[in-house]
Structure 1
Amino acid sequence: MQGSDTALFVACKEGHEEVAKALLAGGADVNAKNTDGATALFVACKEGHVEVAQALLATGADINAPDTHGTNPLTTACEGGHMEVAQVLLASSADVNAKDTVRVGQQAGGRFMGQQAGWKDGLVGRDCRAEVAWRLAAESYRDGNTALILACIKGHVELAKLLLAAGADISAKNTGGEAPCHAASKNGHKDMAKLLKTAFYGPFTYYHS
């Protein structure tokens, strides 16, 4: 079932737990998806509504269901820095190492290039514009990111600790070749880089002769 702005989705997005419970009790499909392929649980997790997420999980929500971009409830919660939501999802056995699966930037780039093909300019001008559009679209490239990589990109240190304790793969790379440590360093998150270094190598012990 597809639904863009059904009552359940609106209630979950706005954090209205009791309304969501009433709708679910009345037969609302807990795993229905909107036009972006997101479930009500995904929407609640993205907005950080922990009580709503708990209610949905108790009613049988698919904890790992991705949207059309391959992003799942845990990864969207971690990207948004929603610690309590992530705790609930992990306690309910969410896949801590699930990856985004769709190249958003590449899809957008393809659309841009298709638009350029319809322009009446000369071939060179058209191709140059297409190349620029492709590079701009590539800024949103996010294929293969785990929840830990997204937490590192955003600098959510406490979330990263939670994910590592839950078994997140510190060496996992996205399709751009970035591991969590690269993501943290690239985005200037010093404390995150220190955390990852310690988690990877262990605490240093200095010996004196």
Structure 2
Amino acid sequence: MLGFIMAALAAASSPAAEVQPVALPTPERRQELLFDAAREGRVDLIPLLIRGGADANAMNARGFTPAILAAYNDQVAALDTLIAAGADACRPDRGQGNTALMGAAFKGADAVAARLLKAGCDVNARNKAGQTALMMAAMLGRAEQVRMLLAAGADAGLVDFEGRTARAVAAVQGHQAVIDLLGETAR
């Protein structure tokens, strides 16, 4: 089925001397296929689906963009392809306001985080609980992610809506290496 869809989209999007009618999936189905392609890293399908009318910045039923799905599933090449096609890699989800960078911090996806920082995503963006990517990385003991976020300008002194800094979150979880990275200034 996916092969048929790929062939149909390629035929529909390429200039040809003689265009043959091609049955394409509905616009709704093309959008769903884009979400699937982003999640699965199908860089062969992403440009075809976007040229076929799928929106690189749309949100699925759960409020996630294709970029968020690619980032959360550690699909760097898919994320690159989406960004090249005009996707806003920094747009937060509809539900909790989490960004792809927060998802990368949560998962410990260092290559994804590096790509999102290169795309200009706000390292200090906050979700609806006031949390940042640094706080998520600290909570899960992701020392390399913490280093990367700090180097990109993450503010270790920010507090969430419960009054906790990234260092405090790391301390509750017992992540000494992260506590050390965050230092005394981020109480």
Match of 1:180 in 2: 166
| Counterpart pick for 2:98 among 62, 66, 71 | 71
Aligned 1:140-159 pairs, distance under 5 A: 143-159=129-145
Residue by residue over 1:6-49, the C-alpha shift from the partner in whole angstroms, topping out at 9 and shown as x without a partner, is 00001111121212232223332101111111110011111111
Aligned 1:14-25 pairs, distance under 5 A: 14-25=40-51
The structure that has the greater radius of gyration is: 1
Residue by residue over 1:115-135, the C-alpha shift from the partner in whole angstroms, topping out at 9 and shown as x without a partner, is xxxxxxxxxxxxxxxxxxxxx
Equivalences, count = 159
| Counterpart pick for 2:113 among 86, 93, 98 | 86
Equivalents in 1 of 2:75, 2:48: separation in Å? 17
Amino acid corresponding to residue 6 of structure 1 in structure 2 = E
Match of 1:165 in 2: 151
Aligned identity (percent) is 35
Q: Does 1:13 align with 2:39?
A: yes
TM-score normalised by structure 1 residue count: 0.72
Q: Does 1:97 align with 2:117?
A: no
Amino acid corresponding to residue 159 of structure 2 in structure 1 = K
Secondary structure in structure 2 of the residue aligned to 1:17: coil
In structure 1, runs of 5+ residues without a counterpart are 102-142, 202-209
Secondary structure in structure 2 of the residue aligned to 1:18: coil
TM-score normalised by structure 2 residue count: 0.80
Equivalents in 1 of 2:170, 2:56: separation in Å? 35
Conservation of the 8 A alpha-carbon contact between 1:12 and 1:44: yes
Match of 2:23 in 1: none
Equivalents in 1 of 2:133, 2:37: separation in Å? 25
State the 1:62 CA deviation.
1.3
In structure 2, runs of 5+ residues without a counterpart are 1-26
| Coordinate RMSD, CA, aligned | 2.0
Conservation of the 8 A alpha-carbon contact between 1:75 and 1:147: yes
Amino acid corresponding to residue 150 of structure 1 in structure 2 = M
Secondary structure in structure 1 of the residue aligned to 2:183: helix
Are the structure 2 counterparts of residues 3 and 145 from structure 1 closer, same or farther at C-alpha, using a change threshold of 3 Å? Answer: farther
Match of 1:29 in 2: 55
Conservation of the 8 A alpha-carbon contact between 2:97 and 2:126: yes
Are the structure 2 counterparts of residues 3 and 150 from structure 1 closer, same or farther at C-alpha, using a change threshold of 3 Å? Answer: farther
